[in-house]
Amino acid sequence: MQLDSVVRTFAGSGTTTARDYPAEDINDVEFKPNEKKHIAGLIRVDHSGEVSAQALYQGQALTARNSLIRDKLQQSAIEENDHLKWTRLRLQELGSHTSLLNPCWYGGAFAMGVFAGVLGDKWSLGFLAETEHQVVKHLQSHLDRLPAEDHRSRAILTQMKKDEAHHATTALDNGGVELPFPVKKLMAAMSKVMTISAYYI
C-alpha cells in the first residue's frame, strides 16, 4: 500500500478533492525567457514541497496511534494532492519539469514523518504544524517574487497558502504541541537546502 502511495505521488495520480484548478479562468501572458525560467523555478520548489508534504503525511499516518488523527492526516494528504496536481500542471504550461531530486525529498520527509509519529501524536502534529507554518512563509515569499502580471501562478499559490494555514491550525487544534526552537531552526535549514536545489534542478 505504501509503495502504491509513492507511485501515485510521483505520477500525480493520487486521490484529490476534485476542486477546480485555481487558474482555470485566468488568461496567461507571454513571458520573457528569463521570467518564465524564474516562475518555473518557484513553482518547481512548490511542487517539491508538496511531494515532501505527501511523504510527511504518509509517514505520520503510518505511525499515528489515534485513528481520528490518522483520518485527519489522510484528509489533509488528499488536499495536498490538489496542490501536486496544480503545480505540475502549471509547470507543464510553462514548458518546464518537476525536480529531478524529488525522490530524495520524498525519502527524507517520509523518514521524518515516521520518526515524528513514533514520538507520539502530539509531537507528530506539532511537527506537522511547524512544517505548514514554514510552507506558508515560503509561499508568501514566492508570491512576492512572482512577476506582477503572472496572475495564473498567483491564484494557485494563494489557494495553496490558505490550505496550508488551515492544515497547521487543524494540527494544533487536535493536540499538536509547539516544537523546541532548535528543532524549528533545523527544519528551516533543511527546507532552505530543498528550496535552493529544487529551483534549479
Give a three-class secondary structure readout of 105-138: HHHHHHHHHHHHHHHCHHHHHHHHHHHHHHHHHH
In a domain, 182, yes or no: yes
In a domain, 5, yes or no: no
Total structural domains in the chain? 1
pLDDT at position 17, please? 64
Which residue range forms the structural domain that includes residue 49? 32-200
- Residue 114: predicted pLDDT: 84
State the Cα–Cα distance between residues 191 and 49, nearest whole angstrom. 9
Could you read off the pLDDT tens digit of each residue along the chain, which spans 201 residues?
555 555 555 555 455 667 889 999 899 888 999 999 999 999 999 999 888 888 887 887 777 677 777 777 777 777 778 898 999 999 999 999 999 999 988 888 888 888 877 877 788 788 888 888 888 988 999 999 999 999 999 999 999 999 888 888 888 887 878 877 787 887 788 778 888 898 888
Residue 32 CA to its chain's centroid (Å): 27
Q: d(Cα 171, Cα 72) in Å, to the nearest integer?
A: 9
Query: Quick one: which of 108, 120, 133, 13 has its CA closest to 55?
Result: 108
How many angstroms separate the CA atoms of 170 and 129, rounded?
A: 8
Instruction: Read off the CATH number of the domain in which 62 is found.
Output: 1.20.1260.10
pLDDT at 35: 94
Is 23 domain-assigned? no
| 52 occurs within a structural domain | yes
pLDDT of residue 53: 81
Neighbours of 35 (CB within 10 A): 16
Predicted local confidence at residue 16, as pLDDT: 65
| 16 located within any domain | no
Interacting residues of 162 by C-beta distance below 8 A, sequence separation 6+: none
**Closest listed residue to residue 176, CA positions, set 60, 85, 80:** 60
Task: Name the grid cell of 12.
Answer: 500525480
Instruction: Give me 75's grid cell.
Output: 484528509
- Reported residue count of the chain is 201
> Structure pTM?
0.83
Residue 116, in any domain of the structure: yes
* Residue 169 counted as domain residue: yes
